[in-house]
Amino acid sequence: MPKPPFASKPAGLAKLTVGNKTIDLPVARGTVGPDVVDVRKLYAEGNVFTYDPGFTATASCESAITYIDGDEGVLLYRGYPIDQLAEQSDFIECCYLLLHGELPSPDQLKTFRNQITRHTMVHEQLSQFFRGFRRDAHPMAVMCGVVGALSAFYHDSTDINDPVQRTIASHRMIAKLPTIAAMAYKYSVGQPFIYPRNELNYSENFLRMCFAVPAEDYKGNPILARALDRIFILHADHEQNASTSTVRLAGSSGANPFACIAAGIACLWGPAHGGANEAALKMLEEIGDVKRIPEYVKRAKDKNSGFRLMGFGHRVYKNYDPRAKVMQQTCHEVLDTLGIRNDPLLQVAMELERIALSDEYFIEKKLYPNIDFYSGITLKALGFPTSMFTVLFAVARTVGWIAQWGEMIEDPSQKIGRPRQLYVGAPQRDYVPLHKR
């Protein structure tokens, strides 16, 4: 299937006057979304840098993978709306879409599913790697270590300049992350590792590797597996977020893909990013009762408290995160299936959302629930401990990281990422010998 002919187009010039010099900067336009001012020649012609800590107004690359409209609450994977994919697609099909740019034909999907299935086992030696961790190590620490170690096992897919090796590495990462994640969980609970089964689909396989025990046959619940598959779809990619930008920056130096994904996992762990699902559930458990919500909302509004409502707010979404809507529906579906309709945590979450969304502070700052607000309740109901929530986020986001990494490697204009700075340190000065200080 021909790749869509997407590329940016010229859209005139922006004029920037610095001192007594006016510099013409090209403006480029994409398919949809804000135009960009190309500042690449600004330093050479104007001897100035742009300044944008946190990259609030900076486009780091040209990408055709995911589009977000934060004001409208829109999220598209290769042009397809997230709610349609969550409803009608499955995670492996979305992986194909993110990697290749188009929905697969039946034959392409069958081949791709088989390719991923055939890579789900890990090198047997890798299981020794876990032995070095304490049983109570945070699973994200284990994931950083073990995924980074994959580059020590798969030398035949670390040459980033070989498209065949890039494809194999991509398939290996998508296939092995659930196996490694399940091993991290099993290790933390002192149970034996469970091997993947080729007759199961991606999410069924993951649930079985996490919750089966050798002492009895495992009977999976297809409704819960489908719910987890949908959760994976929601988390698969999200434009140039912090962990994706980390993967791109690591990859821009030529580091091997396994090391780049390990860097993405490390960044995702932070509570301001992927770690928010763990933090959000802990916050809901700490609130404990709807009567205590006003006290926490008050703290969240107090700058000096240092407290924020975890699972609320977003750098891009200034409207409801479209993933949070699907996440909330999935949460109700899982709790209904498990017969825990009156989960007190869900009651607290829904009342907290209701109060926050009617509060002037949250309305004025456009703070809405994000994907992490309802995911924790759902994952807890599925049987995962809080410490595994961000691990599941990493399992799902691996395909997005890999797709973005591949797009960067194939971009002819890409070069090593190397930002500059505004230096505010000491001017040059001479060394003072110790006896003269």
Which residue's beta carbon is nearest to the bound ligand SDX? 313
Query: How many C-beta atoms lie closer than 10 Å to residue 248's C-beta?
Result: 25
Residue 273 a catalytic site member: no
Q: Select 75 or 126, whichever has its Cβ closest to ligand SDX.
A: 75
Residue 238 a catalytic site member: no
Q: Select 30 or 275, whichever has its Cβ closest to ligand SDX.
A: 275
**Nearest distance, CB of residue 240 and ligand SDX, angstroms:** 8
**Nearest distance, CB of residue 365 and ligand SDX, angstroms:** 4
- Record the tokens describing residue 387, joined without a space: 């410490």
Q: Select 158 or 241, whichever has its Cβ closest to ligand SDX.
A: 241
Residue 409 CA neighbour count, 13 Å, CB half:
24
**Nearest distance, CB of residue 60 and ligand SDX, angstroms:** 13
Residues that bind ligand SDX (CB under 6 A): 54, 238, 241, 272-274, 276, 300, 308-316, 365, 367, 370-372
**Nearest distance, CB of residue 403 and ligand SDX, angstroms:** 14
Q: Which listed residue (235, 273, 314, 321) is catalytic?
A: 314
Q: Select 196 or 311, whichever has its Cβ closest to ligand SDX.
A: 311
First to last CA, the chain: 72
Q: Select 20 or 56, whichever has its Cβ closest to ligand SDX.
A: 56
Question: Closest by alpha carbon to 346, among 324, 369, 374, 310?
Answer: 374
Q: Select 229 or 372, whichever has its Cβ closest to ligand SDX.
A: 372
Q: Which listed residue (372, 411, 430, 435) is catalytic?
A: 372
**Nearest distance, CB of residue 230 and ligand SDX, angstroms:** 15
Give Cα separations from 31 to 6, 62, 289, 325 (angstroms): 8, 11, 47, 26
Q: Select 60 or 108, whichever has its Cβ closest to ligand SDX.
A: 60
- Residues annotated as part of the active site: 314, 372
